[in-house]
Amino acid sequence: MSVKRVGILTGGGDCPGLNAVIRAIVRKGIMVYNCDMTGVQEGWRGMLEGLSVPLDLNAVSGILPRGGTILGSSRTNPYQDGADGGALVRSGMEKMGLDALIAIGGDDTLGVAHRLTDQGIKIVGVPKTIDNDLDGTDQTFGFDTAINIVMEAIDRLHTTAESHNRVMVVEVMGRHAGWIAVEAGIAGGADVILIPEVPFDLDDVCNTIRKRHARGKTFSIVVAAEGAKLDDDSMVLQSQEKDAFGHVRLGGIGNLLSDEIERRTGYESRATVLGHIQRGGSPSAYDRVLGTRFGIAAIDLVHEGNFGKMVALRGQNIIAIDLKEAVSKLRTVDMRLYDIAKVFFG
């Protein structure tokens, strides 16, 4: 049976470039493959609650530069509390009249997609997250926009740090992988970068800053991923409460660092938490193009009947890999890149 009715769903934290993916899928799906396209709203929640919207060419016109997702998103997990997610999603798809689904998301959304594939549901995945921590693809869309936002913030913090002879600590997103901290930190000329992959010692951080000040510098920039770990392997939590995928809310490392640096070194310090600013707003040119390429490749896979796959960037090419490969482990920071960043510490 050829696939004619295709649903699109965006799940997890939003990110710039989602609308570029949706636009590309709808455009090629309708104009080249003559499909009927449906938007499933609010991520997996919409699938379970029957929230959908028809997507024609007009619905996706003008959305390329827009941040967020026109479909809405959520962190709903169809398998929560032992539910039979496969049965729930199959029934949702039947009610919406869908033959196949394209799920755009990070490790949680695509982890669900992988389990659904095992239960015989026709799914293709598209890798999305500003954290850039999905395995199997060289890059996720959204990441480029996020690091440009962070780089600009670091540039701005540099000038005020210099005027006031302060240590400025910038807390950025990145739960388990420090890609944003490392790449934006290198681009912004950070003096210390702390990432979840490498637990840090507060005295070492203070000594690095002291040495820098000893050679005449009067200010420093410290970039810390929200998931950066202290040397006892602990992370700073905003709340113990867990979401549907079991994640606690991180946050607070920036303030902790700023307080401790000031207390231990005597240098006046301030913290800036960039938070969701990193996820909002218009996508960069790179993310618009990558999102468009991913969207086209995803609808091509649906047309070919090649399900259980995720589109991925490898070198200059877009390829298809098994969803299983994409969700089996997190892609953490390449230590060769961190070694480059370290040359500029202090």
CB of 125 to ligand F6P, least distance (A): 15
- Residue from 131, 133, 144, 300 carrying the catalytic annotation: 131
Residue 286 has which token pair?
């790179």
Smaller CB distance to ligand F6P: residue 95 or 242? 242
Contact with ligand F6P (CB under 6 A) among 45, 128, 229, 279:
279
Tokens 């926009």: give the residue.
145
Task: State yes or no: residue 131 binds ligand F6P (CB under 6 A).
Answer: yes
**Taking CA 166 as the corner, what is the angle to CA 165 and CA 167, rounded to the nearest 5 degrees?**
140
Contact with ligand F6P (CB under 6 A) among 130, 236, 274, 301:
130
**Chain residues 10-29 in contact with ligand F6P, contact rule CB under 6 A:** 12-13
Task: State yes or no: residue 250 binds ligand F6P (CB under 6 A).
Answer: yes
CB of 154 to ligand F6P, least distance (A): 18
Do the beta carbons of residue 133 and residue 332 sit within 8 Å? yes
Applying CB under 6 A, which part among 60-68, 170-178, 211-219, 297-305 lies near ligand F6P? 170-178
- Helix, strand, coil share (%) of the chain residues, nearest 5: 40, 20, 35
For the chain, report the end-to-end CA distance as a whole number of angstroms: 62
Distances (CA, A) of 342 to 20, 221, 268, 336: 35, 13, 23, 10
Task: State yes or no: residue 132 binds ligand F6P (CB under 6 A).
Answer: no
Closest residue to ligand F6P: CB criterion: 173
Cα dihedral 254, 176, 238, 341 in deg (nearest 10) = 0
Do the beta carbons of residue 278 and residue 130 sit within 8 Å? yes
**Taking CA 56 as the corner, what is the angle to CA 52 and CA 59, rounded to the nearest 5 degrees?**
80
Report the C-alpha gap between 161 and 156 in whole angstroms: 9
Smaller CB distance to ligand F6P: residue 140 or 292? 140
CB of 180 to ligand F6P, least distance (A): 8
**Chain residues 65-124 in contact with ligand F6P, contact rule CB under 6 A:** 106
Task: State yes or no: residue 127 binds ligand F6P (CB under 6 A).
Answer: no
- In three-state secondary structure terms, 336 is helix
Distances (CA, A) of 288 to 29, 66, 235: 18, 10, 34
Contact with ligand F6P (CB under 6 A) among 25, 112, 134, 173:
173
Report the C-alpha gap between 262 and 80 in whole angstroms: 44
- In three-state secondary structure terms, 122 is coil
Applying CB under 6 A, which part among 27-35, 125-133, 194-202, 285-293 lies near ligand F6P? 125-133
CB of 105 to ligand F6P, least distance (A): 9
Task: State yes or no: residue 296 binds ligand F6P (CB under 6 A).
Answer: no
Contact with ligand F6P (CB under 6 A) among 76, 129, 137, 258:
129
Phi/psi zone of residue 12: left (φ > 0), alpha (ψ -120 to 50 degrees), beta? left
Smaller CB distance to ligand F6P: residue 35 or 130? 130
107 is a catalytic site residue? no
CB of 67 to ligand F6P, least distance (A): 13
Smaller CB distance to ligand F6P: residue 8 or 130? 130
Q: What is the DSSP string of 321-334?
A: EEHHHHHSSB-PPP
Catalytic residue positions, numbered: 131
Q: Which residues bind ligand F6P (CB under 6 A)?
A: 12-13, 106, 129-131, 173-175, 226, 250, 279
